Amino acid sequence: MNNNGMNEPLGIVNHILKKSFVDGPGNRAVIFLQGCNFHCLYCHNPYTINHCTACGLCVETCPQHALTLGKDKIFWNEDICVECDECIRVCPESASPRTRTYTPAELWQEVARIGPFITGISVSGGEPSLQVPFLARFFQLVKENSDLTTLIETNGFAGQQAYTDMLPWLDMAMVDLKCSDPDKHLELTGQPLDTVLESIRFFAAQGKLQQVQQVIAPAYTDQAADMQRTAGLLAGIDPSIHLRLLRFRPHGASGPAAQWQSPTDERMDALVETARSNGLTSVERSL
Amino acid sequence: MDKQNLPEPFMDFENLQEGLTAETVAPFKQHISDLLHARDLIFEQKRDALAAAAVGSMPYPPISAEARELIESGALCLLAEGATPYHPRYVAPDYAKILREGSPFLELQPAQNLFDATTSLLTAYKYFPAGGLPVFIGRLDELLEPYIDSVSPETARQVLKSFWLLVDRLNPSGFVHADLGPAASKTGTLLLDVDRELGTITNVTLRYDPQHTPQEFALKAVSNALAVTKPYFLNHPAMAADWGKDYVIASCYNALPLKGGIYTLVRLNLKKAAEMAGNDPERFLDEILPQISKRWTEVIASRARYIIEDVRWFEDNFWIEEGLLDKSKFSAYAGVFGLAEGVNHFFQNKAGYGHDPAANRLAERITTRIHEVLEDNPVIYCEGTGGKACYHAQVGITSDLETTPATRIPSGEEPELYEHILTEAPTHKWINGGISTILEFDQTAAQNPAAVLDIIQGAFKAGIRNLSIGSANSEFVRVTGYLIRRADLEAHKAEKALRHSSAALGSGVMENHPNHLHRITRKV
């Protein structure tokens, strides 16, 4: 796999989506990395949080026999897998064994084929800031070999110094601001808020903050007071920061969040209005 | 020859050799009576159908027995043009000349302002000398831009809105086609606005050149396409490389020279043709296609001859006398359809076209081979395309039961988007007389038209000549190449009379033959 003889950093990739209209400007390829340092209550893809420990439990359970146990790794036969997710259900880590390990060059080769159809590449998660050496090299290859733009969708928790190595090759960052109340942020994500704000300030100062996203979820972000605080914080950094509000949807959410209600159109529209009246000039919401 | 042996769209009484005979008078009278009494046709539609019946009562101009057999078997299809064509199928008049110089025959003065210009165009459409409908209504932005500042911006908008409404109300058909681009203009922008606002049926093509069409104009066109399935996106650099800049798009997506025309469209059913080769694709390429092409071009020539030598269409014709059409720019279409079934005939019980690389390669070889055999068989009176028939991919008609339009992958069987594009793109290479690939997007596209434009540009780089863009939310349904309104389709099923003749054509396609229709409910 790593046949260039150099000690290339490896990336662990959960999934590559070749066409996305909702992950940044234009049509984009989206690379979903495995591994995240947040444990959001409503996580919609919890199988990307932890890493496979090669315990082998799933190998016996797989009805398609698409998994085999190697020395310290599970091998996945994509061709016969039917994506029934039985492996994830039995996993003690709730981690997907269906990941691929790439060198930066291998990943670029995979994406380059669809280069004519896309504006750029977005890296999402999992959490991109956990695989910075790999991404820095991958983005460098993208920039050296194409006109494609590069974007990360990050939770911002790693703080500014974590992004430094990839910065020369990174065009844009979307940062999730899960919740603007420090206590509720900790409760919702399992991690403190302060470095997230630091990252938002950092990307804004670099001119690379594509947008801030917030999932509008009951009890955390759906009240006018929540949005007043969020908008106030962001407007204090830069009133022109683009804020996109994403409607929480219970479908695919894990744990108790599967029982939560989706905010109504009226609620979403009211929050957009609140954000605007609290100093942000560019606010929109998802469908 | 028994009448029942003739494939659709022949009428019951048609007889290629003899015309109306003593035996076919009864079904002829019945057909006329049915038309007279039809409850779901308005006067104009009855009149047109009666005229078509009259032409259908004539014998076919002399052709070889082999050619007649191919027609009678349905391998070659005349597309209901009738045995004796008395006019070209498509023409592309030089409307700019009428606006600039006026027309003695139409008693029109040179246009002085936007009112004059739109009035002159509507007048000219009324006298369109082919096919009963003005299937080409001009490169409208070029035509009207010189007059757009003759009135205030608000008046310009009102005039264009009235004009666009009249184009539809006087010529209600999805085969009526306007061209825009590649440059942006005030007129082009206004026309996109009023087209979206009015939601009329008139077809539109944007001649898109990524180097010269401004991004903002292109994005506006994408948004329109997602809402009302038009304009088409035409790969202008690729088309201009073949045609020069003076070409137009008419009817569904048909390319022809400006001031030129197309005498006839004779189409080859590639499914039936492939079946003539047994199970040997090499025999199909090496023997069958060269044999067929001789008869195919013979039929095309017989029809062009009839129009020119027998009916003497170019004589006593004001369009010619006033220099609005030019005989040296005329040609005829050799159309193909059912490539998918033609290829899959050789891949029985296998994945087939769109899914098997070997099948995709055969599709490319077939379309290339047809180009070669058409080059090998010059056709008289086709000066407009170098003395050879013009290669066209035909979109299908209601009576096609077992074939997919043109070179498309059957609807509902398309692979993932990029594979879909990359599979069909090689089949566009030689077919410069009109071809299109249909792409349909889900509702996220409307919020990100730039993403759709990325895919259009990628498709052009891959060699796609023409893209039809739609979304599941559109109020129009694109049937093969033309448009029908969703509401009209429902009304037609309820047997209500409609202004739009294309709705009647589309209805049968919708109900019976999903191969023709890009199913609107499916998401890409």
Residues A143 and A72 in one domain: no
Q: A18 to chain B: which residues are within 8 Å by CB?
A: 416, 418
CA distance to A12, A91, A96, A128, B460, per residue, from A52 (Å)? 11, 8, 7, 17, 42
Nearest residue on chain B to A148, alpha-carbon basis: B454
Three-state DSSP state, B478: strand
Q: Kindly state whether residue A165 falls inside one of the protein's structural domains.
A: yes
Question: What is the structure's pLDDT at B3?
Answer: 42
Our measurement of the distance from residue A112's CA atom to the centroid of its chain's CA atoms, rounded to an integer in Å, reads 21
Residue A116 structural domain: 11-49+99-285
Asked if pLDDT for residue B520 goes beyond 50, the answer is: no
pLDDT of residue B11: 85
Of B447, B451, B462, the CB nearest to A27: B451
- The helix (run of H) or strand (run of E) holding residue B45 is helix B43-56
Bond into B231 cis (ω within 30): yes
Cβ atoms of B293 and B224 within 8 Å: the answer is no
Band (pLDDT 50/70/90 cuts) for residue B145 is very high
The pLDDT of residue B444:
84
Q: Which of B416, B454, B459 has the CB atom closest to A26's CB atom?
A: B454
- For residues A103 and A162, membership in a common domain is answered with yes
- Selected for mutation to probe chain B from A27, A119, A210, A244 (highest B CB count within 10 Å) is A27
Predicted confidence at residue A19, as pLDDT, reads 95
- Has residue B524 got a pLDDT over 60? no
Bridge partners, residue A283, by sequence: A243
Residue B79 confidence (pLDDT):
87
Distance CA B488, CA B40 (A): 12
Which of A16, A17, A19, A21 to probe the B interface (max B CBs under 10 A)? A21
Rounded to the nearest 5 percent, the helix, strand and coil shares of chain B are 45, 15, 40
Q: Which of A18, A21, A114 sits opposite B451 (nearest CB)?
A: A21
B60-524 in CATH: which number?
A: 3.20.70.20
Q: What is the largest CA-CA distance in chain A?
A: 58
pLDDT at residue B504 is higher than 60: no
Taking an 8 Å cut-off on Cβ atoms, the answer to whether A21 and B417 are in contact is no
pLDDT surpassing 50 at residue B2 = no
Q: Taking CB atoms and an 8 Å cutoff, what residues of chain A touch B457?
A: 116-117
| Structure letter (DSSP) for residue A38 | -
Residues of B in contact with A287 (CB under 8 A): 443-444, 447
SS3 B470: strand
From chain B, the residues in CB contact with A28 under 8 A are 451
Mean pLDDT value across residues B46-60: 91
Asked if B295 and B67 count as a contact pair (C-beta separation under 8 A), the reply is yes
Strands B437-441 and B466-471 come out as parallel
| pLDDT score recorded for residue B502 | 58
Contact A117 B450 (CB under 8 A): no
Distance from A22 to chain B by nearest Cα, in Å?
7
Which helix H or strand E contains B261, and what residues bound it? strand B261-269
pLDDT on residue B523? 23
**Residue B219 sits at the chain A interface (C-beta within 8 Å):** no
* Tokens 């990252």 belong to residue: A199
Q: Cβ contacts (< 8 Å) between A19 and chain B: which residues?
A: 417-418, 455
B436-452 burial, b for 16+ CB within 10 Å, e for fewer?
Answer: bbbbbbeeebbebbbbb
Q: Give residue for tokens 């903002």.
A: B216
Q: Are residues A39 and A133 in the same domain?
A: yes
Distances in Å between the Cα of A70 and the Cα atoms of A76, B347, B449 are 10, 40, 46
Mutate which of B226, B418, B419, B452 to test chain A, going by most A C-beta atoms within 10 A? B418
- Residues A229, A103: one domain? yes
Strands A28-33 and A11-20 turn out to be antiparallel
- Rounded distance between C-alpha atoms, residue B372 and residue B391, angstroms: 10
Instruction: Give the model's pLDDT for residue B293.
Output: 98
Residue B268, both tokens: 């080859």
| pLDDT of amino acid B291 | 97
Give the model confidence (pLDDT) of A106-116 as tens digits: 999 999 999 99
- Using pLDDT thresholds of 50, 70 and 90, give the confidence band for residue B375: very high
Nearest CA in chain B to A119: B454
**Chain B closest CA to A120's CA: distance in Å?**
10
Taking the CA of residue B445 and the nearest CA in chain A, the distance in Å comes to 6
Question: Which chain A residues are Cβ-neighbours of B451 within 8 angstroms?
Answer: 21, 26-28, 119
Q: Is B181 left (phi over 0), alpha (psi -120 to 50) or beta?
A: left
Query: Which residues in chain B are contacts of A114 at CB distance < 8 A?
Result: 418, 458
Most confident segment among A263-277, B32-46, B80-94, B478-492: A263-277
Q: Say which residues have a Cβ less than 8 Å from residue B14's Cβ, sequence separation at least 6.
A: B3, B6, B24, B56, B57, B83
Is A105 part of a structural domain of the chain? Answer: yes
- Report how many domains make up chain A: 2
Residue range B294-308, pLDDT digits in tens: 999 999 999 999 999
- The shortest CB-CB distance from A117 to any of B418, B443, B444 is to B418
For residues A63 and A116, membership in a common domain is answered with no
The answer to whether B151 faces chain A, any CB pair under 8 Å, is no
Residue of B nearest to A29 (CA): B451
A117/B448 touch (CB, cutoff 8 Å), yes or no: no
Region of B388 (left: φ > 0; alpha: ψ -120 to 50; beta: rest) is: beta
**Is residue A25 located within the same domain as residue A157?**
yes
According to the model, what pLDDT value does residue B493 have? 61
Domain boundary assignment for chain B: 60-524
Among B33, B36, B31, which Cα is nearest to B13's? B31
Q: Chain-wide mean pLDDT for chain B? A: 90
Q: Which residue of A has its CA nearest to B457?
A: A117
CATH of the domain at A83: 3.30.70.20
- Within a domain: A4: no
**pLDDT higher than threshold 70 for residue B347:** yes
B417, closest residue in chain A (CA to CA): A19
What pLDDT was estimated at residue B438? 92
Q: Is A165 found in the same domain as A75? A: no
Residue A3 located in a structural domain:
no
Residue at A256 is within a domain: yes
- Chain A residues in contact with B464 by the CB 8 A cut-off are none
* Average pLDDT of the residues in B247-256: 96
Where b means 16+ CB within 10 Å and e means fewer, B335-360 reads bbbbbbbbbbbbbeeeebbbbeeebb
B61-70 pLDDT, tens per residue? Answer: 889 999 999 9
Residue A207, min C-alpha distance to chain B (Å): 22
The pLDDT, as a whole number, for residue B486 is: 65
Cross-chain Cβ contact B444/A27 below 8 Å: no
- Of B167, B172, B179, B190, the closest CA to residue B93 belongs to B179
Tokens found for residue B402: 């077992």
Instruction: Quote the CA–CA distance of A120 and A24 in Å, as a whole number.
Output: 8
Q: Spell out which residues of chain A touch residue B459, defining contact as CB-CB under 8 Å.
A: 117
Residue B512 reports pLDDT greater than 90 = no
Q: Is B26 on the interface with A (CB under 8 A)?
A: no
Q: How far is B459 from chain A (nearest CA, A)?
A: 7
Task: Spell out, as residue ranges, where chain A has pLDDT lower than 70.
Answer: 1-6
Rounded distance between C-alpha atoms, residue A280 and residue B206, angstroms: 38
Identity of residue A70: G
Q: Which of B 413-442 lie inside 8 A of A, CB atoms?
A: 416-418, 421, 441
Arithmetic mean of pLDDT over chain A = 93
